[in-house]
Structure 1
Amino acid sequence: MKICYLGYISNETVRRMVKWLANRGHEVHVVSPIAPSEDYMNELETVHFYKSCLNSPFIKSLPFYSSWNHIYPSIKIIKKINPEILHVNNVIAFGASLLLSGNYPKVASIFGWTDITGWDDIILISRIIPNQWIYGFILRYAFRNVNAIHCFSENLSKMASFYCRYNDKNKIITIMPGVDTKRYNSNINSLEIRKSLGGESDPIVLSIRNIQTVYNVECLINAVPFVTKEIHNARFIIKTGQAYDINLLNKIKNMVKEMNLQNHVKFIDYVEYEELPKYLACADVYVSTSLFDGLGISNIEALACGTPAVLADIDSTRNLIKKGLHARLYPPKDSKALAKEIISSIKNKEKENKEIHKENFKIIKEHYDFNKNMEKMEQLYEALIKKHKK
């Protein structure tokens, strides 16, 4: 198949999907307003990349310049590629290019909250989203004119249906990208990483969510004193991520200083995706304080590595529990409740409960295996192309 992806190539899930399809022998083209890094290009050497960006004075004078500057170049590039199928991973940003590019089978993906709202900041969303009628218009018009609406999780499918006409709801398909279980499993040797983070015997609590308001990392910082009061040698490792709010990061680091927690909290920089399993496997407890998730892939990756998880009780994490996965939930924003669950997990030595980890991995293989779910995506493409040719 000749497949064209339109969207932000910096997205890790897009990278994994593109790589998988290219390795299957498909001709894959990626159109993005941001050029991929040299390492990215070397890793995906069989993939064709195109940078779509327009820098004319007129376009620069338009409101929301960054939302407009890629439309015309993207359309021109896609028409030249003439793909068998066109897949966009951010409808709000790339919907116009998707719809105006030509007569191809089209798939629109909803990866997470921002693909529905267009905003990264959940607090900002709650204040202004009632006035964001333009986003609703784009979504409704796009969903009406695409052939499939691909959602990463059940809760995102439910959100997407709100923007669909009755006849368009049957276009929604839930395919979870999931976890590479060959890479994320409990057989990982993480001893060296554990040593580098502060010792073999100290319990390690790990957070790897990006530093953004929606991920509510402050809740974990506020939980630290409650945990260390009972478990004096507990260490908290916080990965700052690749995309973060520098002002929020400084605020969180100041919280650590003001609360005199420097001996318990350590910040680490961006970790390459290939190295991430070692960090997840070395932790005694994995924590997610997110206020909203699409699927929350990192939550599943942690469980696949045999690490007990303490997760905020939100739609996406409740769906994990419904599938049968074992994890602890706590009320969002409740630092005392979070601390209680962390303490219980460490004291009960849940990290050593191999039966629970084995059961979790079995469920992950069944529902969240990346290779199995990408085969479903491949079958979706084939079905849409076949239908289009009739």
Structure 2
Amino acid sequence: MKVLYFSRDYTPHDHRFLSALAESEHDVYYLRLERRGHQQEDREPPANVHIVQWDGGQKAARFLDGPRLLSGLRKVIRQVKPDLIHAGPIQTVGLLAVLSGFHPLVTMSWGSDLLLDAAKNAWYRWATRYVLKHSDVLIGDCETVKHKAVDYGMPPEDIVTFPWGVDLEHFSPGESRLRSQQGWGDAFVLLHTRTWAPLYGVDVFAKAFVQAARQIPELHLFMLGGGPLAQQIRGIFNQSGIQERVHFAGQVALADLPEYYRAADLYVSASHSDGSSVSLMEALACGTPVIVSEIPSNAEWVTEGVQGWCFADGDVDALTETILDAYENRQQLPKVSQAARQQAETRADWTKNSKKLLRAYDLAINNQ
């Protein structure tokens, strides 16, 4: 079967899906809507995936480009003659795929398209309902996304839900040299991997870390990545007097990420919205206890005191207290670590979860 995989950009998530499809019996074609900002994924698509050259995919797509891109998509469909189109996010790529009139169509939610974008304004609400009405199957990564899709009119029987998952061999418990390299052998170490952007509550985390660090001399932090709030976040640390306890690691390659999870006593995410967070699944897979914001999707993964702890979303003082409590009860961390890994093995195994993608394709074909 010919599958046209149509996505907004080229990200680690796209590489994950294309790699899974490349190992299937299907003939896979990859179509990219746009090229935005910095490169998000260094790995090339799998060699046996056909890269489609077309009118899009070279620069950021604008609303005014819609008619030209729709015409280009219809031309691609005539040339490739796919048996199925896999398209997402909903209001951009999904909308173009729906407007092309092609079926069977599997639309894939990227989480934020339903959890955030759909409620932006009347146009987004219309586009969301229109795409879901004309999709044969919707793929979502958590129950929170599924419930939101049903609210927008998608029949629940046409929704296939599975976490995107992680490589459990790559992300696994083990030793790390990073603590000794930093001279943090006896420290209590936190890890933050989320993008420094408002959505991810990084300012909430930075303020809470500073408050906790003033009470725990042993508290240190691996702060990964960067983002639009870089100046503000660095300012919070620099003005606190504890900046020497923060190691800014920058962008860390996928190959090196497990070292950081293994080096940490706790992984922390203050995100205000998420689907099934891949970084959360990476932490669980490495056996790293977690502290996460109390939002619906996180509750699907973290039971209070079992795999980690939750705190009231956006509440700096609540996060501070949760960090302090975890430190005071650090003798429980080995047990929490085991439960975290068990949760990942049960629900976050990408090798198993990726097979549900192919079942979604079968459902779409049978719906014709």
Do they fold alike, i.e. is TM over 0.5?
A: yes
Q: 2:109–2:138: 8 Å Cα contact kept in structure 1? A: yes
Q: 1:203–1:233: 8 Å Cα contact kept in structure 2? A: yes
After TM superposition, give the deviation of residue 24 of structure 1 in Å: 2.9
Partner SS, residue 311 of structure 1: strand
Q: Read off the aligned partner of 2:323 and give its amino acid letter.
A: I
Aligned to 1:385: 365
Q: Read off the aligned partner of 1:6 and give its amino acid letter.
A: F
Partner SS, residue 338 of structure 1: helix
Partner SS, residue 302 of structure 2: helix
Q: 1:72–1:97: 8 Å Cα contact kept in structure 2? A: no
After TM superposition, give the deviation of residue 175 of structure 1 in Å: 1.7
The structure that is helix-richer by fraction is 1
Q: Give the one of 222, 225, 231 matched to 2:210.
A: 225
Q: How does 1:315-354 map to 2 (within 5 A)?
A: 315-321=296-302, 326-349=307-330, 352-353=333-334
Matched, 1:235 2:237: no
Residues 167-225 of structure 1, C-alpha deviations (whole Å, 9 max, x = no match): x3432221221222121121x3322x334455332221111011111111111111123
**TM-score (norm. length: structure 2):** 0.89
Q: 1:284–1:346: 8 Å Cα contact kept in structure 2? A: no
Q: Give the one of 40, 46, 49 matched to 1:47.
A: 49
Single out whichever of 257-266 and 288-297 deviates more from structure 2.
257-266
Q: Read off the aligned partner of 2:74 and give its amino acid letter.
A: I
State the distance in 2 between where 1:213 and 1:37 align: 19
Matched, 1:215 2:200: yes
State the distance in 2 between where 1:38 and 1:340 align: 37
Q: Give the one of 159, 166, 177 matched to 2:164.
A: 177
The structure-2 alpha-carbon separation of the partners of 1:198 and 1:76, relative to structure 1 and needing over 3 Å to count, comes to: farther
Aligned to 2:79: 80
Q: Read off the aligned partner of 2:329 and give its amino acid letter.
A: N
After TM superposition, give the deviation of residue 252 of structure 1 in Å: 1.3
State the distance in 2 between where 1:107 and 1:30 align: 14
Aligned to 2:347: 367
The structure-2 alpha-carbon separation of the partners of 1:96 and 1:344, relative to structure 1 and needing over 3 Å to count, comes to: closer
Partner SS, residue 254 of structure 2: coil
Q: 2:204–2:314: 8 Å Cα contact kept in structure 1? A: yes
After TM superposition, give the deviation of residue 364 of structure 1 in Å: 2.2
Partner SS, residue 332 of structure 1: coil
After TM superposition, give the deviation of residue 237 of structure 1 in Å: 1.9
Q: How does 1:78-117 map to 2 (within 5 A)?
A: 78-115=77-114, 117=116
State the distance in 2 between where 1:335 and 1:380 align: 41
After TM superposition, give the deviation of residue 112 of structure 1 in Å: 1.3
Q: Read off the aligned partner of 1:80 and give its amino acid letter.
A: Q
State the distance in 2 between where 1:147 and 1:341 align: 44
Partner SS, residue 268 of structure 2: strand
Q: Read off the aligned partner of 1:201 and give its amino acid letter.
A: D
Partner SS, residue 337 of structure 2: helix
Partner SS, residue 214 of structure 2: helix
State the distance in 2 between where 1:142 and 1:78 align: 18
The structure-2 alpha-carbon separation of the partners of 1:301 and 1:8, relative to structure 1 and needing over 3 Å to count, comes to: same
Q: How does 1:1-390 map to 2 (within 5 A)?
A: 1-34=1-34, 39-41=42-44, 44-53=46-55, 64-65=63-64, 70-115=69-114, 117-118=116-117, 129=120, 132-164=121-153, 168-186=155-173, 188-191=174-177, 193-241=178-226, 244-245=227-228, 248-321=229-302, 326-349=307-330, 352-353=333-334, 355-388=335-368
Partner SS, residue 8 of structure 2: coil
Q: 1:112–1:293: 8 Å Cα contact kept in structure 2? A: yes
Q: Read off the aligned partner of 1:377 and give its amino acid letter.
A: L
The structure-2 alpha-carbon separation of the partners of 1:256 and 1:30, relative to structure 1 and needing over 3 Å to count, comes to: same
The structure-2 alpha-carbon separation of the partners of 1:155 and 1:197, relative to structure 1 and needing over 3 Å to count, comes to: farther
User: What CA RMSD, in Å, does the superposition of the two structures yield over aligned residues?
Assistant: 2.8
Residues 105-147 of structure 1, C-alpha deviations (whole Å, 9 max, x = no match): 111111212355438xxxxx7xxx2xx1111111111111111
Residues 324-363 of structure 1, C-alpha deviations (whole Å, 9 max, x = no match): 952111112222221222223233335751x433333233
Q: 1:185–1:304: 8 Å Cα contact kept in structure 2? A: yes
Residue segments in structure 1 that go unaligned for 5+ positions in a row: 120-124
The structure-2 alpha-carbon separation of the partners of 1:209 and 1:115, relative to structure 1 and needing over 3 Å to count, comes to: same
Q: 1:71–1:96: 8 Å Cα contact kept in structure 2? A: no
Q: 1:330–1:338: 8 Å Cα contact kept in structure 2? A: yes
Q: Read off the aligned partner of 1:337 and give its amino acid letter.
A: A
The structure-2 alpha-carbon separation of the partners of 1:54 and 1:184, relative to structure 1 and needing over 3 Å to count, comes to: closer
Q: Read off the aligned partner of 2:150 and give its amino acid letter.
A: S
Q: Read off the aligned partner of 2:162 and give its amino acid letter.
A: I
Partner SS, residue 293 of structure 1: coil
Partner SS, residue 274 of structure 1: helix
Q: Read off the aligned partner of 2:167 and give its amino acid letter.
A: D
Q: Read off the aligned partner of 2:280 and give its amino acid letter.
A: N
Partner SS, residue 211 of structure 1: coil
The structure-2 alpha-carbon separation of the partners of 1:367 and 1:140, relative to structure 1 and needing over 3 Å to count, comes to: same
Residue segments in structure 2 that go unaligned for 5+ positions in a row: none
Residues 152-173 of structure 1, C-alpha deviations (whole Å, 9 max, x = no match): 11001111112116xx343222
After TM superposition, give the deviation of residue 265 of structure 1 in Å: 2.3
Aligned to 1:122: none
Single out whichever of 338-347 and 303-312 deviates more from structure 2.
338-347
Q: 2:106–2:364: 8 Å Cα contact kept in structure 1? A: no
The structure-2 alpha-carbon separation of the partners of 1:201 and 1:37, relative to structure 1 and needing over 3 Å to count, comes to: closer
Single out whichever of 369-378 and 258-267 deviates more from structure 2.
258-267
State the distance in 2 between where 1:63 and 1:2 align: 29
